[in-house]
Amino acid sequence: MAGTLYITGDVAADRLLNTDANALLIGMLLDQQIPMEWAFAGPATLQARLGHLDPALIAAMDPAEFVLLCCQKPAIHRFPGSMGKRIHQLCQVLVDDYAGDATNLWRDVDTGRDLYRRLKALPGFGDEKSKIFVAILSKTQGITLDGWQDAAGKFGDDVPRSVADITDESSLATVREWKKAQKAANKDKQDRPLA
């Protein structure tokens, strides 16, 4: 991998995401209920603490010990305990089903739909997260499977709405503005009186 994702504000952390599939997958796992930049910086934080991001070595760790590592300040997430457990579970699945390498999730699949199904079966990956990851791989990592746009749903279009659309400072600002506008629109809907 040698992708173009630009998200953390740290050159080394972004390089890790763009060259290590396991880091990218863990970053996507962490991308919920915290700013995107914080989520995707998590893999670099873990690598600095562990000296690696090897799923086999993480899966072999005592889960409670791994969670404590995730909770060290600065924590890797707003909810470091639950997300630490989830990372540990994800690494165990990668070891059990994909020879400890996230690239094996897409290496032997033919379609975006097949990849989507594999992603959705991972701990912590629901419908939207799986679709966004399909889009990230296609838009920023050069992994374009047949039907990837259908599998990515709205995240496969040209509207800059998610981390999959961020490749530089300008696109980061555009995605932030889109998210801000969506949040405001949703708040307006909630504040409207019922007719």
Give CA–CA dist 190/74, Å, rounded.
34
Q: Note the pLDDT of residue 122.
A: 98
Which DSSP string do the residues of 90-134 spell out, in sequence order?
HHHHHHHHHTT-TTHHHHT--BHHHHHHHHHTSTT--HHHHHHHH
What would the pLDDT profile of 39-81 be if each residue is shown by its tens digit? 999 999 999 999 999 999 999 999 999 999 999 999 999 999 9
Please tell me the distance from the alpha carbon of residue 108 to that of residue 93, in angstroms, as a whole number: 17
Confidence of residue 159 (pLDDT cuts 50, 70, 90): very high
Which residues lie across from 151 on neighbouring strands?
Answer: none
Residue type, 111: T
Helix (H, G, I), strand (E, B) or coil at 138: helix
Are 148 and 156 within 8 A, CB to CB?
A: yes
pLDDT digits (tens, 9 = 90+) for 76-110: 999 999 999 999 999 999 999 999 999 999 999 99
Give Cβ neighbours of residue 30 (< 8 Å, ≥ 6 apart).
38, 39, 40, 42, 43, 76, 77, 83, 87
Backbone phi, then psi, for 146, in 5-degree steps? -55, 135
**Residue 192 pLDDT class (50, 70, 90 cuts):** low
Written as six digits, the tokens of 25 are 């997958």
Q: Tell me the Cα Rg of the chain.
A: 17
pTM, whole model, 2 decimals? 0.92
pLDDT digits (tens, 9 = 90+) for 123-158: 999 999 999 999 999 999 999 999 999 999 999 999
